[in-house]
Amino acid sequence: MRQVDVSLGSKSYAVYIGAGLLAQAGRYLKEKGFAGRLVVITDSTVNRLCGSALRQALEADGFGVSTIEVPPGEAQKSLERAGQLYQELTAGRAERTTPILALGGGVIGDLAGFVAATYQRGVPLVQLPTTLLAQVDSSVGGKVAVDHGQLKNMIGAFYQPEMVIADISALKFLPTDELANGLAEVIKSAAIRDGQFFSFLEENMERIKSLDEGLLEEIVYQSVRIKAAVVAEDELDMGLRNILNYGHTIGHAVESASDFKIKHGSAVAIGMVAAARVSLHLGLLDEGELKRLQELIIRAGLPVGMPDFRVEEIMLAMQHDKKVREGKTRFVLLKSLGNAEVIDDVAPSLIEEVLTENEQA
C-alpha cells in the first residue's frame, strides 16, 4: 500500500493506493472516526463488479450500508440526476453526518461529489475511484461538478473528500480503451513535472498495459503525488494548477469538435503532441523529446495525429473554451520532458500551423 497526503490545512486528506483496498475501506473509515450509516453512490457496471465486495467488508466492520445505483455514462452528470439523488437521500433520511461514498469512475466521483457538497450544505465525502482516470486524476483535487446541456462541468464546487481509497485490483476489469484513457493523464503528469517518471513509463509501458499490479500501483502513486503537490500549492485553480491542463486546450477543442465521439484521453494525447510541437517551434523543446513523447503515447494505445475533421473546426471550438482569453490562447508548454510552463500569448496562427502538421503526421 502506498499513501499520498494532500496538504490543504484543515482540509487535508490521505489517498490510499493498493491492491484489495476496497475490502479495507471500513477500517480506514473507522480510523477517521466514522460509524453507523453510509450511502454508496455507484453506477450499475461498477456495482456489479465491485459493489458486493465493498458492502460485505463495510458490513463486517459494523456499518449500515445503503446503495444508490445510477446507469453508467456521462449523461448522468446532470442536475436532474442530482435532484433525484437528493430525493433518495431525503427518503432514506440521510443526515448531515452520513458519509457518501462515491464508488466508480470520474462520472460518479463528480456527480456523487457534487451531491455530497450540496446536500444539507455538505456531508462527508469518500472517493473510491475505480477507473485509472479517476484514480490518477478526478478523485484528487476536490473539483466536483455536473454538466449543463452541452457544457461540461458548468455547475460545480471545490469540495475536498475525507479520504480517497484507490483499489488497484478494480482496474483488472477495465476495458483497454478506458485504461488508455487514464494513461493519457499519467503521461501528462510525468511530462509536466517528473522526467524520471517519464523514463519509468518508457521502460515499463507494455507491462503496465498487461495490468501488472505492482506497476499500476506505482504509476497511480506517482501521478497522485504529482497532482497532490500541484493542488496543495493552488487549491482553487488560480495559477500553478494550470499546468495540469497540459494537452487540454487543444484536447477539449478536439473533443467538442468531434461531438465527444473522441474520448477525453485520446483528445488529450492529440493535444499533448500538438502543444509539444508548439514548444518545438518556440525553441523550448527539441526534436528528440517530441519523438519520445509521441512514441510513448503510441505505445500507450493513444493517437498522436488529428483524426479526419478539419483544423478550422478545432480552431473554432478552441475560441469557445473558457480558458481561451481575449483572443490570446493560454497554453501549457513543455520546456523539457518533466518541466512545463504556462504561456499566455501563443499566436493562433502558430496553433493552426502545428495542427496542420499534426493532421499530416
Ligand X SMILES: NC(=O)c1ccc[n+]([C@@H]2O[C@H](COP(=O)([O-])OP(=O)(O)OC[C@H]3O[C@@H](n4cnc5c(N)ncnc54)[C@H](O)[C@@H]3O)[C@@H](O)[C@H]2O)c1
With 0-12 / 13-18 / 19 or more C-beta atoms within 10 angstroms meaning exposed / middle / buried, residue 38 is buried
- Rounded to a whole number of angstroms, the minimum distance from the CB of residue 171 to ligand X is 6
Q: Near ligand X by CB under 6 A, which window of 24-32, 104-112, 189-197, 328-336?
A: 104-112
Say how far residue 101 (Cα) sits from the centre of its chain: 17
Using the minimum distance from each CB to ligand X, give the nearer residue, 136 or 355. Answer: 136
Asked if residue 80 lies in contact with residue 51, where contact means CB atoms within 8 angstroms, the answer is no
In total, the chain counts a number of residues equal to: 361
Binding status of residue 278 toward ligand X by CB under 6 A: no
Using the minimum distance from each CB to ligand X, give the nearer residue, 105 or 358. Answer: 105
- Rounded to a whole number of angstroms, the minimum distance from the CB of residue 159 to ligand X is 10
Write the DSSP assignment of 251-269 as a string of letters.
HHHHHHHTTT-S-HHHHHH
d(CA 33, CA 53): 22
- Rounded to a whole number of angstroms, the minimum distance from the CB of residue 308 to ligand X is 24
Q: In this chain, which of 18, 26, 51, 106 binds ligand X, going by CB under 6 A?
A: 106
Binding status of residue 104 toward ligand X by CB under 6 A: yes
**β-strands 324-325, 37-43 pairing:** unpaired
d(CA 350, CA 281): 8
**Across-strand partners of 166?**
17
Q: Near ligand X by CB under 6 A, which window of 29-37, 40-48, 293-301, 311-319?
A: 40-48
Binding status of residue 130 toward ligand X by CB under 6 A: yes
- Rounded to a whole number of angstroms, the minimum distance from the CB of residue 76 to ligand X is 8
Count residues near ligand X (CB under 6 A): 28
**β-strands 64-70, 100-104 pairing:** unpaired
Binding status of residue 301 toward ligand X by CB under 6 A: no
DSSP structural state of residue 302: -
Which residues make up the interface to ligand X (CB under 6 A)? Answer: 43, 45-46, 49, 72, 74, 77, 104-108, 110, 130-131, 133-134, 137-138, 141, 143, 152-153, 170, 173-174, 178, 181
